[in-house]
Amino acid sequence: MAEDFPVARLESDAWDAVTQLAEHRLPGLVVTDASGRPVAILPAAQVVRILVPQYVQDDPSLAGVLSESMADRVAEKLRGEKVSALLPDDTPELAVVNHDDTIVEVAAVMARLRCPLAAVMENDRLTGVITASRLLELALRQ
C-alpha cells in the first residue's frame, strides 16, 4: 500500500527538503539517517515551527509584534541548515507500520500519533510511505 514519496536525510539541505514539501504539497517529511533508516517523521504542521522564532514559541502573544518585513525573512534561517535542524528537541514516537498491516492498523497508528504519514517497513527496511489521504482513498475504494 506504500506510495512514492520523497525522503530527506538528516544531512540533506533543509531548504531543499522544505521546498520539496511545499512544492509537492506533501503532508510532511520522512527523515532518515545515512543508512536509510527512518529517524523522524515530521508532519507539515511541525515543519512550520521553523518559521517561528524561539521567543514567539515561548510567548505566542509576541507573534503580532513582529513587523511584516521581519516575518517575511523567517525562511532565511533555513539557508545552510541541515534537515536535522528541523527536528524537535524531544524525539517523538515514529509513525512506522509494517507493509502487511491492515488499513485499521495503519489508521490506528496515525490517529494515535496525530501524524498524517507513516513510514512503511519490510524486514526493517523502509520501503515507502503512506499518507492519511491515501489510506482514506484505499478504505473508500473497498
Of 74, 81, 87, 128, the one binding a second copy by CB under 8 A: 74
As to burial, measured by CB atoms within 10 angstroms (0-12 exposed, 13-18 middle, 19+ buried), residue 117 is: buried
Tell the smallest beta-carbon distance from residue 115 to a second copy (Å): 6
Q: Could you say whether residue 27 binds a second copy (CB under 8 A)?
A: yes
Residue 92 DSSP one-character state: P
Of 22, 37, 80, 127, the one binding a second copy by CB under 8 A: 22
Site for a second copy in 83-142 (CB under 8 A): 102-108, 110-116, 131-137, 139-140, 142
As to burial, measured by CB atoms within 10 angstroms (0-12 exposed, 13-18 middle, 19+ buried), residue 112 is: exposed
Q: Could you say whether residue 40 binds a second copy (CB under 8 A)?
A: no
Q: Could you say whether residue 66 binds a second copy (CB under 8 A)?
A: yes
Give the CA distances from residue 75 to residues 19, 60, 120, in Å, rounded to whole numbers and listed in that order.
11, 18, 30
Residue closer to a second copy by CB (options 38, 116) is: 116
- In the chain, the amino acid numbered 65 is V
